Amino acid sequence: MRKLKVSVALMIILVFGLLGTALAFYYPPTHVPPGPPPNYTEIDTSHFLGVPYLPMPPPDSGGFYIWYDQGMWQIANHIYSPGLSHEQFHAAILVMLDQPPTLNVNVFIEELEFWGDTTKSLCLKENDRWGWKPWGENLYEIWWDMTTRHGQEEDIDPNDLLKLSIVGCVADLNLWSSGMGSPFGPHEVFLGGDKKPLSTVPEYSDYFPGISDPYQSQAGSDPSNSSNITIFTKYSDTLRTYNSSGLIDSTDSYTCGLSVDYGQRYAGTFAYEGNGIQFSTNAVYQVNDPPELQVPDDTTYYLCTEDLVSFQVCATDPDENDTLVLEKVSGPGTFPADTGTSPLCENLLWYPSSETTAEFIFKAIDKYGETDEETVMVTVDFSDPPVVVAPDTVLVQQEKTAEYNFTASDPDDEKLEDDAGITVDPDCGIYSAQRLSGSGTSSGEWKVSFEATNCAVGYYTVEVEIEDSCGKAGVDTTIVGVQPRENNAPIVTVPENRSGIMGDTITYNAEAYDPDGDLLLDNENVTVIPDCGGVAGIRISGGGTSSGVWEITFYTLGCDSGNYKVAVEIEDALGATGSDTTYMSIGKKGPTDISERSSDKITGFSLKQSYPNPFNPVCNIEYALPTDCHVTLTVYNILGQKVKILVNEYQGSGHKSVQWDGKDDQGQDVSSGLYFYRIQAGDFFQLKRMVLLK
The rounded distance, in Å, linking the Cα atoms of 120 and 596 is 162
Length of the chain measured in residues = 694
Selection from 565, 579, 574, 564 nearest residue 524 by Cα: 579
Q: For 391-440, how does the pLDDT look when each residue is reduced to its tens digit (9 = 90+)?
A: 999 999 988 899 999 999 999 889 999 999 999 999 999 999 999 999 99
**149-163, 298-312, 355-369, 579-593 — which is least confidently predicted?**
149-163
Q: Phi first, then psi: what are they for 19, rounded to 5°?
A: -70, -40
Q: Phi first, then psi: what are they for 282, rounded to 5°?
A: -110, 35
Contact 342, 317 (CB under 8 A): yes
Mean pLDDT of the 678-687 span = 91
Q: With residue 9 as reference, give the H or E element that holds it.
A: helix 9-19
The rounded distance, in Å, linking the Cα atoms of 144 and 73 is 15
The rounded distance, in Å, linking the Cα atoms of 132 and 246 is 10
The rounded distance, in Å, linking the Cα atoms of 85 and 153 is 12
Domains of the chain, first to last: 2-285 (no CATH), 290-382 (2.60.40.10), 389-483 (2.60.40.10), 491-587 (2.60.40.10), 596-692 (2.60.40.4070)
Higher pLDDT pick, 256 / 343: 343
* Burial class of residue 509, CB neighbours in 10 A (0-12, 13-18, 19+): middle
What lies within 8 Å, CB to CB, of 153 at 6+ separation is: none
Higher pLDDT pick, 271 / 617: 617
Higher pLDDT pick, 92 / 337: 337
Residue 91 has what pLDDT? 78
**44-58, 204-218, 672-686 — which is least confidently predicted?**
204-218
- DSSP helix/strand/coil, 186: helix
Residue 207 has what pLDDT? 62
To 5 degrees, how large is the angle CA 493–CA 498–CA 500? 150
Number of H helices, E strands in the chain: 1, 48
Per-residue buried b or exposed e for 155-173, using 16+ beta carbons within 10 Å of the residue's own CB:
eeebbbbbbbbbbbbbbbb
Selection from 103, 128, 136, 107 nearest residue 25 by Cα: 136
pLDDT at 55 over 60: yes
Assign 264 a pLDDT band (cuts: 50, 70, 90). very low
Phi-psi region of 260 (alpha: psi -120 to 50; beta: other; left: phi over 0): beta
The rounded distance, in Å, linking the Cα atoms of 137 and 507 is 115
The rounded distance, in Å, linking the Cα atoms of 540 and 204 is 127
Residue 658 has what pLDDT? 92
Contact 475, 465 (CB under 8 A): yes
Assign 26 a pLDDT band (cuts: 50, 70, 90). very low
Q: With residue 14 as reference, give the H or E element that holds it.
A: helix 9-19
pLDDT at 118 over 50: no
Residue 431 has what pLDDT? 95
- What integer best gives the mean pLDDT of the chain? 78
The rounded distance, in Å, linking the Cα atoms of 364 and 335 is 13
**73-87, 466-480, 583-597 — which is least confidently predicted?**
583-597
Selection from 519, 652, 534 nearest residue 596 by Cα: 652
Neighbours of 519 (CB within 10 A): 14
Q: Cα-Cα-Cα-Cα dihedral of 625, 627, 631, 634, to 10°?
A: -20
Residue 174 has what pLDDT? 76
pLDDT at 590 over 80: no
The rounded distance, in Å, linking the Cα atoms of 202 and 35 is 23
The rounded distance, in Å, linking the Cα atoms of 283 and 620 is 132
What lies within 8 Å, CB to CB, of 443 at 6+ separation is: 407, 408, 409, 410, 416
Contact 569, 648 (CB under 8 A): no
Mean pLDDT of the 273-297 span = 74
Assign 270 a pLDDT band (cuts: 50, 70, 90). very low
Neighbours of 596 (CB within 10 A): 14
The rounded distance, in Å, linking the Cα atoms of 532 and 503 is 11
Q: With residue 645 as reference, give the H or E element that holds it.
A: strand 642-651
What lies within 8 Å, CB to CB, of 75 at 6+ separation is: 64, 65, 66, 91, 93, 163, 164, 166, 170
pLDDT at 52 over 80: yes
Long-range CB contacts (within 8 A, 24+) of 539-544: 540/509, 544/519
Q: What is the spatial order of strands in the sheet that 673-681 belongs to?
A: 642-651, 629-636, 673-681, 684-692
Q: Phi first, then psi: what are they for 485, rounded to 5°?
A: -75, 130
- For residue 108, give Cα distances in angstroms to 24, 111, 135, 170, 428: 26, 10, 21, 14, 87
Q: DSSP string spanning 15-76?
A: HHHHHTTT--SSSSGGG--SSSSP-SPEEPGGGGBS------SSSS-EEEEEEEETTEEEEE
The rounded distance, in Å, linking the Cα atoms of 625 and 684 is 10
The rounded distance, in Å, linking the Cα atoms of 446 and 97 is 71
Selection from 92, 152, 160, 90 nearest residue 126 by Cα: 160
Q: For 76-109, how does the pLDDT look when each residue is reduced to its tens digit (9 = 90+)?
A: 887 655 544 445 677 778 888 888 888 888 988 8
Please report, in angstroms and rounded to a whole number, the separation of the first and last CA atoms in the chain.
Answer: 117
Selection from 459, 473, 441, 454 nearest residue 395 by Cα: 459
pLDDT at 446 over 90: yes
What lies within 8 Å, CB to CB, of 684 at 6+ separation is: 605
Assign 347 a pLDDT band (cuts: 50, 70, 90). very high
